[in-house]
């Protein structure tokens, strides 16, 4: 068995040439090291828009195009792709992602070492043309395999593009209870996997680049917050995450809303932000050292 690459497509022809280049490099490196299958599934979530296959010549023979009958949003589109996938492992890649040419072979090597359900790669955040590590060190990466930082700080994984996941380990609840509010379906997935005690490991190699454009930041931030409130509702329905954790998660979202949109005076907002960060750090330490047993 091998890997299915799931790529939600949404009016994204301008990204396809670069995406095909990096996928072709990855496939070549992967096939030189392993004798297992690779497939690339483009799930078209923009009905009426045609994927220009001329941009995909470099990966001809590896890809399929699957059409959504109607716009399903990012979560529904990813689920559609996973249901169509034929391989053992899933890589959920976005159409505008930037990844290393070694992503597939490096991640596959890690996940095949043991009985691992998901492996998280490190990467770079590009903010104002400056590079910052997504996880500053191996300790932070290891923490990312526990629930502590997600409750205390939020989603410490920049994108599903950092993760290779065993298909059978993806929680059924996530597949059947679709988040219609775009943005937080990945946080929703990690929380469910952690609550179900999936075996999560990490890869210290820098394989992924997340570019922060800053476009329409306020609107995106509001949408993300609303999406996460819905995640809390779904997690309550699932019942696998402790109620006390979800209460703090909701409190953290309210703090975030207040800092971003509620306090008009910038100086006061900064002071409030500082003290809430101290509080989050204390919650993280409490969970890491006294609660989480991994």
- Please, is 220 exposed, middle or buried when counting C-beta atoms within 10 Å of its C-beta (0-12, 13-18, 19+)? middle
The domain ranges of the chain are: 1-96, 115-294
Measured between alpha carbons, how far is residue 96 from residues 7, 101, 161, 272 in Å? 10, 15, 10, 35
Buried-state track 127-163, b at ≥16 Cβ within 10 A, e below 16: eeeeeeebbeeeeebebbbbbbbbbbebbbbbbbbbb
Measured between alpha carbons, how far is residue 138 from residues 122, 188, 195, 197, 206 in Å? 9, 24, 23, 21, 11
pTM of the complete model: 0.93
Any long-range contacts for 130-133 (C-beta under 8 Å, 24+ apart)? 133/206
pLDDT string in tens for the chain (294-residue length): 799 999 999 999 999 999 999 999 999 999 999 989 999 999 999 988 999 999 999 999 999 999 999 999 999 999 999 999 999 999 999 999 999 999 999 999 999 887 899 999 999 998 888 899 999 999 999 999 999 999 999 999 999 999 999 999 999 999 999 999 999 999 999 999 999 999 999 999 999 998 765 444 345 888 899 999 999 999 999 999 999 999 999 999 998 888 888 888 888 888 887 888 898 999 999 888 887 654
Architecture of domain 1-96: Alpha-Beta Complex (3.90)
């Amino acid at each position: 068995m091998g890997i299915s690459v799931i790529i939600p497509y949404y009016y994204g022809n301008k990204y396809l040439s670069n995406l095909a280049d990096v996928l072709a490099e990855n496939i070549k490196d992967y096939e030189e090291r392993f004798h297992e299958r690779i497939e690339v599934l483009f799930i078209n979530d923009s009905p009426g828009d045609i994927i220009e296959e001329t941009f995909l010549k470099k990966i001809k023979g590896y890809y399929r195009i699957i059409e959504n009958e109607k716009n399903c949003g990012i979560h529904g589109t990813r689920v559609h792709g996973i249901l169509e996938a034929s391989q053992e492992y899933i890589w959920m890649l976005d159409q505008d992602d930037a990844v290393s040419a070694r992503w597939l072979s490096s991640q596959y090597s890690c996940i095949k070492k043991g009985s691992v359900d998901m492996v998280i790669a490190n990467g770079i955040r590009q903010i104002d043309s400056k590079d910052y590590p997504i996880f500053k060190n191996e300790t932070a990466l290891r923490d990312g395999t526990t629930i502590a930082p997600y409750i205390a700080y939020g989603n410490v994984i920049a994108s599903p593009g950092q993760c290779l996941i065993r298909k059978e380990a993806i929680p059924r609840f996530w597949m059947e209870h679709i988040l219609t509010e775009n943005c937080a379906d990945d946080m929703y997935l990690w929380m469910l996997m952690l609550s179900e005690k999936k075996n999560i490991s990490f890869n210290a190699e820098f394989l992924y680049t997340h570019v922060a454009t800053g476009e329409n930041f306020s609107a995106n931030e509001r949408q993300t917050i609303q999406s996460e409130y819905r995640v809390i509702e779904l997690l309550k329905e699932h019942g696998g995450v402790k109620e006390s954790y979800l209460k703090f998660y909701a409190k953290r979202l309210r703090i975030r809303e207040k800092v971003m949109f509620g306090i008009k005076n910038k100086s006061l907002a900064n002071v409030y932000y500082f003290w809430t960060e101290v509080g989050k750090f204390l919650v993280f330490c409490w969970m890491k050292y006294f609660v989480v047993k991994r």
